[in-house]
Structure 1
Amino acid sequence: MSVVRYDKQGPVAIVTMNRPDYRNAQNSAMTYALDSAFTTAVDDAEVKVIILAGEGKHFSAGHDIGTPERDVDVSFERKAVMWWDHVDRPGGDQRYAREMEVYLGMCRRWREIPKPTVAMVQGACIAGGLMLAWVCDLIVASDDAFFSDPVVRMGIPGVEYFAHPWVLGPRAAKEVLFTGDRFSAQQALDWGMVNRVVPRESLTEETLRLAGRIAEMPQFGLALAKRAVNQAEDLMGLRTGMDSVFGLHHFAHAHNAEVSKDSLGGLDARSMKERQ
């Protein structure tokens, strides 16, 4: 079974994470399969809009930190090329290299896709799941969607693609991080993090409707408009802020490795869920 499905409906490409048994937790295999699917969509002149979806009840539970298919020790052909291959590197070098490529590097790469992207979110969108939704230009959420970034419980300041102050605003970002609590789709809408909240049974229909409306616009104009907004965000500090926080993120990993049994503060997917 492919960990990512690629479908096309007219001018709309649908890229679907396909690990529903693990709530679409992101291992490296999925990350590189997503990159391949996005590349296919970008290179297809007929595709004008890309939808990112998750198979099953949930969009994504975040990074894979505990499934049988976790693949942190496997090499893949690097595409973001933000750092060297992490496999066989010692200590912090290994973790920094992997996260710079697979998490921060890939998310930045996907943010710059020259075609509009729409995240179609249902159920859980947790930590690394937020990263995937945030790199998309628009987010349509079902009324049963919920969000959180609980990694402060690990002693970590936030996920690698640290866009919190820009997509939530500083005060909401602090509340989300300080408490680790879930917040609803309606709260996300009130904060301006998502564009629309729709009934679960209408999620696919409404997302396709929005994508179809966007696809009526000229492709080059869409690409330039996207780049204009992204550049404005970067001028407001998004990219440099993210660079700074990525250093804090890895300082936290190093601290955890010294004072606990691993760089995640001794927590895994099960213990994180139990503390929700």
Structure 2
Amino acid sequence: MASEPLDRVFEDSPVPEYPSFEAIQVGVDDGIAVVTLGADPDRPNPTTTMTPELLQFFRIVRDDPTVRAIVIVGRGKVFSAGGDVKVMGERSKRMDPSVNPAWVKRLPVDRATDFMTALLEVDVPVVAAVNGHAVGAGLRIAMLCDYVVVADDAKVGDPHVKRGLVAPQAVLLGELIGARRARSLVLTGRLLRGEEVVEWGLADEAAPRDEVLDRALAQAAQLAELPPLAFRWTKRALNNRVKAAVAQYASEGYALESLTMLSTDHAEAAASFAEKRDPRPYEGR
């Protein structure tokens, strides 16, 4: 008896069960999964709470034969503002290992690299609908997707250094947009907008904010119609180099970021940002 084609075998696989997410929302319609970042419309979709759930989703969705493409969009007017600065400020006040050694387990050294690898290993097309600001770890989500549509008024960049933190994804940015542009972006903390985001290679197209999700859904539908095996294995070949960079450099970057979380420079940067004032002179040298 002739063996079944591989794509038919994948289609007949059982549908996995998804947990009840709280920091993200997942819905599937006509083979396209829409992942909405954030649960509270009054907060800027911080990755602090979303990352563990996104990691879980990316690992599960690989085994879901009903999903042919994924669109990631932010709730409200923000895609993702990265780490929660308020949480950072509160955390910096209690990061004394002699008093609270439990904070060590919350450092993002392993969790961040696991997240990037899980997203890179999703076989189906992943499209980012950057409907608003995408900064820091929010930018990381978008730049690891296969196609990015950005709102023409969205601010996109990586202000880690301005917050007194090492920019852990600097090497990854260099891999994707080139070392010179990565330096300019992360060392200055500058934020790009619309067409400038496209020109720098961080997005594929810019659109008015109210059109971003529709364009992303249309692009996801087009990609979903491509021969699935050819797509997934070509994508894998493209992502292997990025995964190698993550494996080689990312853990060091996140370890160094974790060290700067202990610094008075970071504590002052987080406090001044939260209090909307200029930072006092920094001590770190």
Q: TM-score, normalised by structure 1?
A: 0.78
Deviation by residue 1:21-41 (Cα, 9 ceiling, x = unmatched):
11111233x223323433453
Contact kept? 1:22, 1:67, Cα under 8 Å: no
1:58 aligns with 2:78: yes
Deviation digits for residues 32-91 of structure 1, max 9, x if unmatched? 3323433453332121111111110010111123269x999xxxxxxxxxxxxxxx9827
CA distance in 2 between counterparts of 1:266 and 1:168 reads 31
Amino acid at match of 2:25: R
Q: The residue matched to 1:20 in structure 2 has which SS? A: coil
The answer to whether residue 35 in structure 2 is matched with residue 27 in structure 1 is no
Deviations 1:213-243 (Å, cap 9, x if unpaired)? 00111222221111100113356x4531323
Distance 1:238 1:200 in 2: 31
State the match for 2:283 in structure 1: none
SS in 2 for 1:5: strand
**Alignment match of 1:121 (pick from 92, 105, 130):** 130
- CA displacement, residues 83-119 of structure 1 (integer Å, 9 cap, x when unaligned): xxxxx98277435xx3024333222222221222111
Contact 2:62 2:123 in 1 (8 A): yes
Highest RCO, 1 vs 2 (Cα 8 Å, sep ≥ 6): 2
Determine if the alignment matches structure 1 residue 232 to structure 2 residue 252. Answer: no
**2:101 maps to which residue?**
90
Report what 1:110 is aligned to: 119
Structure 2: distance between partners of 1:53 and 1:40:
19
Q: What is the one-letter code of the residue matched to 1:266?
A: E
- Structure 2: which 5+ runs fail to align? 1-20, 93-98, 280-285
Cα distance in 1 for partners of 2:274, 2:179 equals 24
Aligned CA distance change for structure 1 residues 234 and 39 (closer, same or farther; 3 Å): closer
Q: Does residue 203 of structure 2 align to residue 183 of structure 1?
A: no
For 2:140 and 2:271, how far apart are their aligned partners in 1? 17
- Residue type at the aligned position of 1:264: H
Aligned partner of 1:78 in structure 2 is: none
The one-letter code of the counterpart of 1:41 is V
Task: Report the counterpart of residue 96 of structure 2 in structure 1.
Answer: none
* Helix, strand or coil at the partner of 2:72: strand
Q: Provide the residue aligned with 1:17 in structure 2.
A: 37
Q: Which has the larger radius of gyration?
A: 2
Mark the CA change 1:272 to 1:190 in structure 2 (over 3 Å): closer, same or farther: farther
Match for residue 18 of structure 2? none
Work out which of the residue numbers 267, 270, 274 in structure 2 matches 1:268: 270
TM-score normalized by the length of structure 2 = 0.76
Check 1:137–1:272 CA distance in 2 against 1; reply closer, same or farther (3 A cut): farther
* Secondary structure of the structure 2 residue equivalent to 1:56: coil
2:7 aligns with: none
Instruction: Flag the 1:247–1:141 CA change in 2: closer, same or farther, 3 A.
Output: same
Distance 1:109 1:43 in 2: 13
Matched-pair contact (CA < 8 Å) for 1:131–1:161:
no
The RMSD of aligned alpha carbons is: 3.1
Paired residues of 1:143 and 1:185 also in contact (CA < 8 A): yes
Give how far 1:160 is off: 5.1
Q: Distance in 1 between matches of 2:168 and 2:138?
A: 10
Q: Assess, with a 3 A threshold, how the Cα gap between structure 1 residues 180 and 51 changes in structure 2: closer, same or farther.
A: same
Cα distance in 2 between the residues matched to 1:116 and 1:161: 24
Count of residue correspondences: 250
Q: Which residue of 1 aligns with 2:203?
A: 194
